[in-house]
Amino acid sequence: MGHDHMMGMEMLPGFPKADHCQLYKLHRPAPLRFIWHHILPQTCGGQSVDANLSQLCDSCHYAVHAMLYDLKVHQGAFISFSKYQKTPRAVLAYQGYEAAVAAGTVDKIPQEGSIE
């Protein structure tokens, strides 16, 4: 059985346990868990290396995946999340989208966290 990517991983081989959110210092309510997020999703060929990883809280992780899928569906344009396009979450989602474009794997971006 494959890994459920939206579940995220608190631990990755060779990395410490995720312990903070790199996008926002303050969250209300306080996050219950932090995970390692693959900027270029693993389904798109993303590797577990420093340059492709970000520590996120579950809320930010969910939002980044929803935004990433929105970018896929709308060929790189934020439609469903247009009012949030300058937020740190959107910047990270766009970074993942651009990496998928460069890798030629945009079609493999999974529908995780999508509002559609």
What is the pTM (predicted TM-score) of this model?
0.88
pLDDT at 115 over 90: no
pLDDT at 73 over 90: yes
Angle between helices 58-73 and 88-103 (to 10 degrees): 50
According to the model, what pLDDT value does residue 96 have?
98
pLDDT at 34 over 80: yes
Mean pLDDT along residues 53-67: 95
Q: What's the rounded Cα separation, in Å, for the pair 9 and 64?
A: 15
Residue 114 lies in a domain: no
Residue 97 lies in a domain: yes
36-49 pLDDT per residue, tens: 999 999 999 999 99
Instruction: Using the CB atoms, write b or e for 16-29: b if 16+ within 10 Å.
Output: eebeebbbeeeeee
- Residue numbers of the domain that contains 42: 9-102
Look at the chain and report how many structural domains it folds into: 1
According to the model, what pLDDT value does residue 10 have?
82
Residue 108 lies in a domain: no
According to the model, what pLDDT value does residue 11 have?
84
